[in-house]
Chain A
Amino acid sequence: MSGIQKFACWTLAAIVLGGIALSIIVPADYTVQFRETPNAVPTHQHLLGTDELGRDRLARVLYGTRISLLLAPAAAFLSTLMAALIGVVSGYFGSWCERLALAVTDLVLSLPWLFLMLAVRAVLPLNVSPLTSVVITFLLLGLLGWAASARVLCTGTRVLRNSDFILQARASGLHGFRLLAVHIIPNLKPVLYAQFLISVPVFILSEANLGILGLGVAEPLPSWGSLLRELEGWGGFSTEPWKLAPMLLLILVVSCFQVILAREEVSA
């Protein structure tokens, strides 16, 4: 791992830990309203000021960071798991199973991601509790984001299936799911790991897009998407630079993932 990649890992770790540790210094919970000071500028009490409802912006940014950084990897884990199930099984058994899986994968991949997300999100109720909206948003990302990874894993499995060491294992009497579990899946680990890492920033950005469009995490729960919606009435660099804090944090986190990813893609 190169120096810049180590730095990216440490930065991500610092953001996660900082998100938890700094919660102690914020004056109140993300839902508490300071009604006498709405839209306040940064002070000693409110380091990033307050929003239009008088809620401490730092508390909301920290809590939103925790939600996005906890649930985006969880959704990425789910999508990678689904991709592994579909890609590895279809690649291993080949024949009609592979053709069917690839046809479905191609169909899903041909649907533009955001249009697909909007269509499926609209099928589900929009007027739900904040907690349900978080679960729906990230579950959707996890359940719909498997296609590209499944294609990569299917190809990887097919290559392994036709390799010499698998032929030797077959000749030694190893078959079926045992062969899959002992020889194929362990050799796909780097690919699985890379696909997981690719999915995390994609899901973070998708959640932010949905949140800004009003189809993501519902109020009063904060997420990067709902926090970035504040930019709609932004006053400018000179008057309200602190409102850019969630955006800068988002750029930092996604950039860190991109830097780490560069190595993982090469090794996969």
Chain B
Amino acid sequence: MRIMRIFRHLETILATLLIGGFLSATLARLAPGFGADEQELDSRLSAESIRQIRESHAQERNILHFYFNYLKRAIHGDLGTSRSLGKPVRQLIADRLPITVRLCGLGLLVGWTVGLALAIAVVMAQVRVLDVFAAGLAGTFLSLPAAVLALLFVYFNAPASLAISSIVFPKVFSFSRNLLAQSYGLPHIITARAKGLGSARIFGWHVLPVAGPQMLALAGVSVSMALGAAIPVEALCGISGIGQLAWQAALGRDLSLLVTVTVLVTVVTLAANTGSDLAMDIFRGQQA
């Protein structure tokens, strides 16, 4: 059963890669200036030489043929050259991916720690003032676009990873708070409290097993949130990561690069969701 699920997820990732690759190839093929060669501007070349240069590009005019070649090159790790930055796309991604992974990883860690800690504190303490304060804080952060948060973090000279965590934290808090409050209202947990079980024991043995699987689902989704937030944060904080690369590609209308980056980020998102799905499966399996 679990192996079937893994296969289904791998199918989805493969389908996304193929469709995304086709989209990338189509956009690159339809982009203005496709097929033009700088060599044609050389005044020393004869008409016959120019004709031969044009003929060498002729077979790429068929989108399917172009996609097949693109796919063949991509399998060998050649993702083409960025039109706007003049560097191989593979090198650009290899240089920038670790920076984004570090930024988002740290942001997710801090966001989850703060969000979850606050949610647990609010639910366990059951103090109205704390609940209103935490909800107000989370609501304010939820009402701010990621780009504004990035600008404010630049102004305060705060680390950019904290900007990512301030985007992740309110969603983690809101979801966890509601989930934990629901779990604490379940009859067997009320009974456990009535019987005098300690707070830590109730949380660890009764609440966490109920809320755990859904928290893991949110963990998968939060990766997508962090990667999405990486665009404005990296662009406005001047961090050379994948988000900034996507933004530069969009401004330079470098469609091939932009779609390649988008497909890469989508695959990372799908892999994170697959991971959380499998973790949920294992968690439920252990409980059963």
Contacts and interface: CB of A to CB of B under 8 A. Distances in A.
Interface of A: 106-107, 110-116, 118-119, 121-123, 126, 201, 205-206, 208-209, 212-215, 225, 228, 231-232, 234, 236, 247, 250-255, 258
Given A126-B251, A209-B232, A215-B250, A115 B262 contact: yes
A107 B265 contact: no
A209 B150 CA distance: 10
Main secondary structure, interface of B, reads helix
Contact of A213 (B15, B27, B227, B247): B247
B147 interface: yes
Contacts of A112: 224, 227-228, 262, 265-266, 269
A116 B231 CA distance: 11
Given A119-B258, A123-B255, A258 B139 contact: yes
- By secondary structure, the A interface counts as helix
Contacts, number: 121
Most buried by A among B139, B147, B249, B254: B147
A213 B232 contact: yes
Contacts of B235: 213
Q: Which of A119, A208, A214, A236 has the most CB of B within 10 A?
A: A119
Nearest to A111: B266
Interface in B17-52: 19, 27
Contacts of A251: 140, 143-144
A212 B236 contact: yes
B81 interface: no
Contacts of B139: 255, 258
B: contact size bracket: 35 or more
16 contacts: A107-B19, A110-B12, A110-B16, A110-B269, A111-B266, A112-B228, A118-B250, A121-B250, A122-B251, A208-B145, A209-B232, A212-B236, A213-B235, A228-B147, A251-B140, A251-B143
Nearest to B235: A213
A225 B146 CA distance: 11
B231 A254 contact: no
Interface string B252-278: 011100110110011001100100000
A161 B218 CA distance: 30
Given A212-B148, A213-B232, A232-B151, A126 B265 contact: no
Contacts of A255: 139-140, 143
B255 A122 contact: yes
A204 to B, nearest CB: 9
Q: Which of B155, B229, B255 has the most CB of A within 10 A?
A: B155
A215 B144 CA distance: 18
B145 A212 contact: yes
A160 to B, nearest CB: 25
Contact of A110 (B246, B247, B261, B270): B270
Contacts of B155: 231, 234, 236
B94 interface: no
